[in-house]
Structure 1
């Protein structure tokens, strides 16, 4: 049975649990989320606390109330960060929420640009694997587009990285299975920006449309970068981070 821990207020812990279920795909768009009455039973909290948790999720655009139905998961307003995708694989064995899918547009061996080489700890011009993909909603609407780079020496050990066919377990798990290198940490950067001409065309928007830009580095236990990626996401999609400060100021 769920239990309340400190120091976060109970309503925030409840909201975090439901938010995590949405991010992992356990609760998908249109699914009913636990009602206030069910939350009071499962978490053994007051009705006011349960209502506050649902109100918080509603203010984040993750859930909405439907007359005669209850509270359901709202539209595609949640953007899965790189870390979310790693956690989703661990929780469900799947990268994307039900109905969402990705198309790999290209997979090639190429010379590393300076920025990519720096991120992977290589010399500029060294061979790297480049995979470009676009992620779609269940309604076939493009939500984000991204590119990932891997050290070129993975081409021999993990040949599927150079194919555009889907890797069912995801690239991170695929590389782990073949090399034993496990993603131990994820470094993420976000910035607002304008869509490039290529990304705008892929996402079906005008060039320079405001978008969320992300850079992600996946590190193994030794601190070596297994994968470096960049992504562009349409506006109106929220990324959530939850953390506890270690102490005083």
Structure 2
């Protein structure tokens, strides 16, 4: 069992150790992960610290707690466009497939809207860097998205302020410039009527219904690194999911 290091919170070190076991396949879907009691004994930490490590894994969507039974590795696989793009950038250095391209419609410093400040743990009205883009293919606009980053990131990653495409994608560029690596992400979704600006950017009729996804990327220290708001037009699949029915 690895020893606790002082450079990172204890509960995160435990969570990352179990996460790595899951990603390597040492722990497979349906396998039970160590209990709070076992983790506390193995790592020589308190029960609350052990419980927090399991909460962090659950927060990342890697495990699920079954009442009266234990905590188990989840078998659910979700393929979201953001993960698909990030994986492609890691493999090829390019974020889009042939035929896809993004037009940056706005970039620079802004006072963060309330929901952005909350997602990035910024002070109310704090300054943030934004990048607004429309992604297109041969059929026209396929998504509209705005990425937001806190001031610390904006100061260390100057290309975010320029209205030019970043070949490897904003997240990989930010990782390279700041040394902060994305660890996991959370998505929240809702459907609503498109705003006038969204309808214009996506070439939609007025009063079209769109899918809104709020996407928050966290780093290895569980700090929010990027907040993105994506708008998907009707009749475009943004999610694919597979799961057992027995």
- Does the 8 Å contact 1:215/1:231 carry over to 2? yes
Aligned partners of 1:184, 1:224: CA distance in 2, in Å? 10
What is the CA-CA distance between 1:193 and the residue it aligns to?
A: 1.6
1:96-154 residue CA offsets vs partner (Å, 9 max, x unmatched): 22110101111120111211110001111111001110000134x11111111100122
Alignment TM-score, normalising by the size of structure 1: 0.63
Q: Secondary structure at the match of 1:95?
A: coil
Structure 2 partner of 1:188: 187
Aligned partners of 1:84, 1:182: CA distance in 2, in Å? 17
Aligned partners of 1:156, 1:119: CA distance in 2, in Å? 19
- Does the 8 Å contact 1:101/1:138 carry over to 2? no
Structure 2 partner of 1:148: 147
Give yes or no for the alignment of 1:228 onto 2:227.
yes
What is the CA-CA distance between 1:188 and the residue it aligns to?
A: 1.1
Structure 2 partner of 1:207: 206
What is the CA-CA distance between 1:242 and the residue it aligns to?
A: 3.8
Structure 2 partner of 1:113: 113
Aligned partners of 1:118, 1:244: CA distance in 2, in Å? 33
- Does the 8 Å contact 2:120/2:149 carry over to 1? yes
Instruction: Give the stretch that moved more between structures: 92-101 or 176-185.
Output: 92-101
What is the CA-CA distance between 1:208 and the residue it aligns to?
A: 2.0
1:37-82 residue CA offsets vs partner (Å, 9 max, x unmatched): xxxxxxxxxxxxxxxxxxxxxxxxxxxxxxxxxxxxxxxxxx9622
Change (3 A) 1:189 1:81: farther
| RMSD between superposed Cα atoms in Å | 2.4
Structure 1 segments unaligned to the other structure (5+ residues): 1-5, 8-78
What is the CA-CA distance between 1:239 and the residue it aligns to?
A: 2.6
Pairing 1:25-104 to 2, within 5 Å after superposition: 81-104=81-104
What is the CA-CA distance between 1:200 and the residue it aligns to?
A: 0.3
Aligned partners of 1:235, 1:96: CA distance in 2, in Å? 21
Which structure has more strand as a fraction of its residues? Answer: 2
Alignment TM-score, normalising by the size of structure 2: 0.64
Structure 2 partner of 1:177: 176
- Does the 8 Å contact 2:232/2:238 carry over to 1? no
Change (3 A) 1:90 1:218: same
Q: Secondary structure at the match of 1:130?
A: strand
Structure 1 partner of 2:125: 125
Q: Secondary structure at the match of 1:121?
A: coil
What is the CA-CA distance between 1:243 and the residue it aligns to?
A: 6.0
